Amino acid sequence: MSVVIIRQDGKIEEWKLALQAAAPEVDFYSYLQDHPKDRIEAAMVWKHPQGIFKEYSSLRYIASFGAGVDFLLQDPEIPSDIKITRVVDPVLASDMSEYVIAALFSFLKNLTRYRSDKFKGIWNPAPYLRISDLTVGIMGLGALGSCLAKDLYRIGFKVVGWSRSEKNIDFMECFSGDKQRAEFLSKTNALVCLLPLTPETAHILNKELFRQLPRGAYIINVARGGHLVDEDLIDMMDRGHLAGACLDVYHQEPLPEMHPFWRHPKILMTPHVASVSDVQAVVPQLLENYYRFKKGEALINEVSTLRGY
Interface with ligand NDP (CB under 6 A): 66-68, 92, 140-145, 163-165, 194-198, 200-201, 222-224, 248-249, 272, 274-275, 309
Residue closer to ligand NDP, measured from CB, 40 or 255: 255
Q: Which of residues 57-96 bind ligand OXD (CB under 6 A)?
A: 66-68
Q: Is 224 a catalytic residue?
A: yes
Q: Single out the catalytic residue among 7, 48, 86, 224.
A: 224
In whole angstroms, how close is the CB of 39 to ligand NDP at the nearest point?
31
Question: Rounded to 5 degrees, what are φ and ψ at 219?
Answer: -115, 130
255: which strand partners?
none
Of 61, 37, 64, nearest in space to 293 by CA: 61
Q: Pick from ligand OXD, ligand NDP, none: which does 196 bind, CB < 5 to 8 A by kind?
A: ligand NDP
For the bound state, the minimum distance from the C-beta of residue 277 to ligand OXD, rounded and expressed in Å, comes to 6
Sequence-distant (≥ 6) Cβ neighbours of residue 49 within 8 angstroms? 6, 8
We find the least distance from the C-beta atom of residue 184 to ligand NDP, in angstroms, to be: 10
- The verdict on whether 7 is a catalytic residue reads no
Using rule CB under 6 A, residue 196 touches ligand OXD: no
The CB-nearest residue to ligand OXD is: 66
Count of H helices and E strands in the chain? 9, 12
Q: For residues 11 and 187, which CB has a smaller minimum distance to ligand OXD in the complex?
A: 11
Closest CB to ligand NDP among 44 and 92?
92
Binding partner of residue 192 among ligand NDP, ligand OXD, none, CB cut-off 5 to 8 Å per kind? none
Query: Given 60, 259, 272, 292, which residue is catalytic?
Result: 272
**Using the rule CB under 6 A, is 140 a contact of ligand OXD?**
no
Closest alpha carbon to 71 in 256, 268, 272, 229: 272
Rounding to the nearest 10 degrees, give the CA dihedral for residues 304, 305, 306, 308. Answer: 80
From ligand NDP, ligand OXD, none, interface partner of 136 (C-beta below 5 to 8 A by class): none
142 or 216: CB nearest ligand OXD: 142
Question: What is residue 52's DSSP assignment?
Answer: G
Distance in angstroms (rounded) separating the CA atoms of residues 93 and 162:
18
Rounded CA-CA distance 134/198 in Å is 29
**DSSP string over 110-171:** THHHHHHHHHHT---------GGG-EEEEE--SHHHHHHHHHHHHHT-EEEEEESS----TT
Residue 45 or 174 having the CB closest to ligand OXD: 45
Task: List the catalytic residues.
Answer: 224, 272
Residues that bind ligand OXD (CB under 6 A): 66-68, 276-277
